[in-house]
Amino acid sequence: MALKEGEKPIVIGVAADSGCGKSTFMRRLTSIFGGEGVGPLGGGFDNGGWETNSLVSDLTTVLCLDDYHLNDRNGRKVTQRTALDPLENNFDLMYEQIAALKNGESIEKPIYNHVNGTLDTPETIVPTPIVIIEGLHPMYDERVRDLLDFSLYLDISDEVKLNWKIQRDMEERGHSLESILASIEARKPDFDAYIAPQKEFADLTIEVLPTQLDEEDKKTLRVRCIQKEGVSDFSPCYLFDEGSTIAWTPAPSKLSSSGPGLTMAYGTEDYYGKPAQVVEMDGTFDNIQELVYVESQLSNTSTKFYGELTQAMLKLADAPGSNNGTGLMQTLAAFAIRELYEKKAAAAKLAVIEA
């Protein structure tokens, strides 16, 4: 959808390592904005990759920040640096182009081709009301960070990341365990130095950890949605009573769970020195429809009617994480972004009328 006169896009940053659920999150987000997840390039969703560089719904455009890599894969062999290293990324151009989009101007964005690791001919990007920048460094450069209206970090713990990579690269793509471990180890120093510190700047972080319900269990997940307070047009979601500390075991007869059971928690805490509210789910549920029971106890979900959260989860029942806290927290984040957009759009409209 073209911008209306005087309208400026809102810009959302989504940071995460590759293979950590960005495509799945984008799918949940665009589904809430009414997108089918199929861009004009004809790309669809699969777990192998998000069709980036394209208009994904009438409202949203997603830019993959890998497109701002300075060198292609061969070039990095010469520099001996990983793509996680800021020196391998063109932050000047990233800033210039995102600032232009935010100002309502089109850009000629470079294209990094993941298949062969080379840089393709740039493409024209026309701004839409919501521009999402996703990749390794959306919050790294201060100038780019200042352009963001909301920022999200998908924080997958090392243990879970390894399990997901084993599942995808070993079981589905036939890679060896040694090669997976080697590639994780090789990336780790730069990941810790340049990617993880961006958590400090995230308005919302989804932390994915191994369950605490059973020490032996390597598959079940404990997921924490860490929501910063004081972010403009964002009201953190809470369980039962805002500001309290809550530990809740939903009645198994209302929310069935095979495996080690299911618990929820809520509380406030300091996250990188800033006050935050945290909603947590540990465990797996059997039936998405029963999630409506959890939804009935959550407030500030940014939904428009009771049941909308569960409905959104049901719509993407086949997506990874739809039976645990990853899907739930991603969906909550998507609704928060929708509300933020609607509030900002309404305020901008009012400003135009008043001018």
Site residues, ligand ADP (CB under 6 A): 16, 18-24, 47, 50, 164, 167-168, 320-321, 326
3 state SS of 1: coil
Burial class (CB in 10 A: 0-12, 13-18, 19+), 277: buried
* Rounded (10°) CA dihedral 59, 39, 321, 287: 80
Q: Which is nearer to ligand ADP, 47 or 268 (CB)?
A: 47
Question: Residue of minimal CB distance from ligand ADP?
Answer: 321
Q: How far is it, in rounded angstroms, from Cα 316 to Cα 39?
A: 18
Report in angstroms how near the CB of residue 353 gets to ligand ADP at its nearest: 40
Q: Which is nearer to ligand ADP, 276 or 329 (CB)?
A: 329
Ranges assigned E (strand) in the chain: 10-15, 54-55, 60-64, 107-113, 118-125, 130-135, 150-156, 204-210, 221-228, 238-239, 246-248, 262-271, 274-283, 298-299
Q: Which is nearer to ligand ADP, 127 or 325 (CB)?
A: 325
Q: How far is it, in rounded angstroms, from Cα 204 to Cα 265?
A: 17
Q: Which is nearer to ligand ADP, 50 or 91 (CB)?
A: 50
Phi, psi angle pair for 58, to nearest 5° = -55, -30
Q: Which is nearer to ligand ADP, 66 or 339 (CB)?
A: 66
Q: How far is it, in rounded angstroms, from Cα 277 to Cα 274?
A: 10
Q: Which is nearer to ligand ADP, 146 or 171 (CB)?
A: 171
Give the 3-state DSSP-derived string for 323-334, with helices as H, strands as E and coil as C: CEHHHHHHHHHH
Report in angstroms how near the CB of residue 241 gets to ligand ADP at its nearest: 28
Report in angstroms how near the CB of residue 172 gets to ligand ADP at its nearest: 8
Report in angstroms how near the CB of residue 320 gets to ligand ADP at its nearest: 3
Report in angstroms how near the CB of residue 157 gets to ligand ADP at its nearest: 13
Report in angstroms how near the CB of residue 203 gets to ligand ADP at its nearest: 19
